[in-house]
Structure 1
Amino acid sequence: MKKTILFLSALLLLSSCKVKNDKTSLSAQNSSEKTITKKSFVIDTATVKKHLYTLASDEMEGRKPGTAGIEKAAKYIEGEFKRIGLKTYENLDSYRQNFKDNEIEMFNVIGVLEGKSKKDEYVVVSAHYDHLGKMKDGEGDRIYNGANDDASGVTGVLALAEYFASQNQNERSIVFVAFTAEEMGLIGSKHFGKDIDASKYVAGINLELIGKEPKTGPKTAWLTGFERSDFGKIIQKNLEGTGYKLFPDPYTKFNLFFRSDNASLARLGVPSHTFSTTPIDIDKDYHKVSDEAETLDVSIIVETIKAVAKGTESIINGKDTPARVVIEE
């Protein structure tokens, strides 16, 4: 009788182990399937158009610092950073870096995607979210919507933040910044640069006016200060075989390298450059109330954002480190 009981107990124990092992195997299989079926964020037309048309809408009132319009724009960017899951910057308790300039309360909007093996090395991805506001008087349209300048660039920052967060492969930390008061003299980016340890900042990727086809043709962009570091050459190498090409800034007489937010970091030695696609020498909408979302080609913005993602991949992943910039005043 005792032998029978022992035999039955052994059978029950074996059965229990089998069920447990089967459940463990099933759990592992489900986990594996979830990993396989998980999709990365795709930089698509719908997302890009949503960001662009929201930031360049009349509701934003031209996004001039110190106005209700720029407050609405900042809240939209903050909401996207939160949805994507970005962390706040350094010791800030929100995505805003608040400061005061010219008696105006201002704020950069900053979100961080922490890196893995090189989390103490930083890459900045930026654009300015301010613009010129509204005309004081006159008839008809009085709002400087700033769709190309620079809702298009901020759209790129938001799309890249979501893309890199979904990839979850960035070895270096990425600091996504929507700078304020660029139109007033790079005020936001200068403030950001005041307290950083520039030696830890590996590169600056600034996006400005990326909504129109350049004179270099479809699927191309140009880079300011191309000759000042090997940043541009790294991008060109990474873009080989994609059908997209990057060219040096064709407008050297305009001194554009120093006219966008990349300059504030470049003056600190950071290889920081601006991507653009717009033929500014013939652009009739630049700093005009006609700079509306409808005047832009969303497909160009999408292709440019994809090119920036691919072109900067080896820098983000820690494989390439651009040479430092030396600025001679």
Structure 2
Amino acid sequence: MKQLIIVIAFIAGSLFSFAQSIDVIINSKEALRIENTLASNDMKGRKTGTPGNTKAALFIAEEFKKAGLQPADSKNGYLQKFAMVEAKVRSSNIVLGGSKLETEKLIAITPKRMLQVNEKSGYETGKIAAGDNLGAKAMSFVQSGKNYIVWVDNSFAKNFKRLNYFKSKLFANTPDVLFVLADAAPETYLLEVVQEVEEIELMNVVGVLPGKSKKEEYVIFSGHYDHLGVTDKPENGDSIYNGANDDAAGITAVIMLANYFKQLHNNERTIVFAAFTAEEIGGFGSQYFSKQYNPDKVAAMFNIEMIGTESKWGKNSAYITGYEKTDMGAILEKNLKGSAFSFHPDPYTAEQLFYRSDNATLARLGVPAHTISTSKMDSEPNYHKLSDEVSTLDIENMTEVIKAIAISSTSIIKGTDTPSRVNTADLK
């Protein structure tokens, strides 16, 4: 009996120590410090390609350094640099089956200064059919890594111009994707575009915590640090999109998790902490990052997006996009059994969040890559508005979400649980 009491006391003491350590490392005071810095007016809305965006990247890099992470790049340290281009069309031409059409029916996503494509060019062909989600389907072609001609059903004529969204920034070596507003491909066609191209350098911020027995297997924690910048149409004297929830909240989580897992020091798998740029203009930061890893070696990805407000279920809850596509959610719930926190399947499936966020590139390659969020997509009052300020966040609840991510991911970090893979056939 005495031995049993000692064992029980030891277990209870260990649990108390664990709970105490997580509360010390992941706490609301620290969350508020990071939030106040990232969402400050000094960052000028962190728009991709601006000095404010760079300032945010350097702050995150310094936080990774203080946490004791290893730089991901031997040359650039924590800054994962990549080249993109901004292209402005000067002239274009579209001829289908011998008939010349309005140039507005062609949107060419290409970094090339001059491009001429016809039916003999060897490009893959795709289709966006009536009833498809235009944005999500278009993004799948843009992110495919292949040269594509995509025929877009004429039912999308009113919204076709929205595909110019993908032209704002392109990888310097990205493949060509040409969207043509036509119900079907004719036997012959000619698509031409001439552009003015300007190259710019962007950067993700990436830190690594090497694993032990499973060092070549990766678990990724990520979020995006860019936002919308500054508007020329102020409201009540405010012109800065601070992006406190979108997605300074996610980056706050990534930084705090880096500190937590470094101090916990029980990761058998290598943990990668990533802060992406260019999410707001097409998810280009996460696309570049994802291409640096063999997807077969990535055990899981926790992308964290907008966790600063209560979910539709109230406090101590969040949802997981693409919940049904792997058993990762079930693993997280198992690890939280007995706690006050609960994860739920994404209730906003019509929004196609699984395909739109920074998890999408790796998910399409089979990785159990999911986004965790609390954002009420049908009623979030400050989403993409100037009012997305730190003062609108529930920092205490956000801190509990971060703790829940830390605790629920532990068995995956240790390598005792491996989530099932996404069935890529279901994503086509």
Smaller-chain TM-score range?
Answer: 0.7 to 0.9
Aligned partner of 2:54 in structure 1 is: 71
In structure 2, distance between residues paired with 1:204 and 1:215:
24
1:86, 1:111 within 8 Å by CA — same for their partners in 2?
Answer: yes
Q: Which has the larger radius of gyration?
A: 1
Q: Does 1:56 align with 2:39?
A: yes
Superposed displacement of residue 93, structure 1: 3.8
Equivalent residue number for residue 204 of structure 1: 301
2:419 maps to 1:322: yes
Q: Which of the two has greater helix per residue?
A: 1
What pairs with 1:75-224 in structure 2 (closer than 5 Å)? Answer: 75-89=58-72, 91-102=74-85, 103-138=199-234, 140-224=237-321
Contact 2:73/2:79 (8 A) holds in 1: no
Deviation at 1:92, TM superposition (A): 4.3
Instruction: Tell me the distance in 1 between the aligned counterparts of 2:234 and 2:378.
Output: 27
CA offsets, 1:29-50, max 9 Å, x none? xxxxxxx9x9675211111100
CA deviation vs aligned residue, 1:209-261 (integer Å, no higher than 9, x gap): 00001111221100000001001010011110011000000001111101110
User: What's the TM-score, normalizing by structure 2?
Assistant: 0.67
Q: Does the 8 Å CA contact 2:43/2:52 hold for their aligned counterparts?
A: yes
Give deviations 1:173-231, integer Å, cap 9, x for gaps.
Answer: 00000011011111001011223211111000010000001111221100000001001
Q: Which residues of 2 match residues 8-23 of structure 1 at below 5 A?
A: none
Q: Aligned partner of 2:44: which letter? A: E
Q: CA RMSD in A?
A: 1.5
What is the distance in 2 between the residues matched to 1:253 and 1:320? 30
**CA spacing shift, 1:89–1:302, aligned 2, 3 Å:** same
Residues 320 and 372 in structure 2, CA contact (< 8 A), matched pair in contact too: yes
What residue identity is the alignment partner of 1:121? E
Structure 1 gaps of 5+ residues are 1-35
CA distance, structure 2, for counterparts of residue 315 and residue 92 of structure 1: 30
Indicate conservation of the 8 Å contact 1:116/1:172, yes or no: yes
Alpha-carbon distance, 1:91 to partner: 4.3
Match of 1:297 in 2: 394
**Residue of structure 2 in register with 1:5 after alignment:** none
2:323 and 2:401 map into 1 onto residues whose CA distance is 17
In 2, are the aligned partners of 1:223 and 1:276 still within 8 Å (CA)? yes
Unaligned runs of at least 5 residues, structure 2: 1-16, 86-198
8 Å Cα contact 1:96-1:110 kept in structure 2? yes
Structure 2 CA distance for aligned equivalents of residues 77 and 197 of structure 1: 25
Map 1:224-243 onto structure 2 (within 5 A).
224-243=321-340
User: CA–CA distance in 2 between the matches of 1:215 and 1:144?
Assistant: 24
Count of aligned positions: 293
Q: Do the aligned partners of 2:279 and 2:285 also contact (CA within 8 Å) in 1?
A: yes
Percent sequence identity over aligned pairs: 51
User: Which range moves more in the overlay, 194-203 or 287-296?
Assistant: 194-203
Q: Which has the higher strand share?
A: 2
